[in-house]
Structure 1
Amino acid sequence: MATLLHHMKPWMQMSIVESEVRMVTMVDQKVQAVHKRLDAFESSSIRTELDSLRADIDTIIGASTYEPESAPTTLAGDTMLDALFSEDTTQPESTRDRGKRPRSNHISDTTEEARAKNRER
């Protein structure tokens, strides 16, 4: 049995080396095929995408040169500043003051009248 293993060992080692070489070669071929397909796909799809983007940019640039004739000539910044800092505007009521109001729907005159009626009874 030892003699048989002694003769088979070199053959098995050679077979292992040959199969490893075949596997490496096959993997390299598949990687190269995938790279070729990716290159072909990327170049065609990138060109198509670039052409589409260029057309979109040309459309945007062409549309932005149009100005309507009735454009306002006053500065909007001055209007905004005048509205913000003018003295005649009323200040909004703070939420704190709003919370301090009496929650009853009666006003003070009607409250006094109601108290007078209760005293008469």
Structure 2
Amino acid sequence: MEKRMETMTDQKVQVVHKRLDAFELRVLARPASVTDFTSNRTKLDSLRADIDSILDAPTYEPKSTPTALANDTVLGALFSEDTDAQPDPTRAHGKRHRSSQNSDTTEEARVKKQERQRTE
């Protein structure tokens, strides 16, 4: 039985070797592929020309504006004594001013309210 297994294994190994040899012959018989470097070279030259044109393009530098005028305007707005132009703060818009001294109008309103409560 061992002898039979050994011969079958040898036969299978020989079949595999034959197939490998046939494959090697086919690969070696193929003509070598020809690489066309000329088209790649022309594309590369075109890209280089595009890059050179981008790098050589003039850059736009805006003229500097005089900052003295802007500084005067800002400083004038900050330190002007014109208080009429400044709007009220938005948080204080809906708030009432409360002072420790009662004004005559609020005192009168309280008296009227107390009288109304007494009559009811």
Give the TM-score range, shorter chain. Answer: 0.3 to 0.5
Structure ranking higher in helix proportion: 1
Structure showing greater radius of gyration is 2
- Normalised TM-score (structure 1): 0.38
- Normalised TM-score (structure 2): 0.38
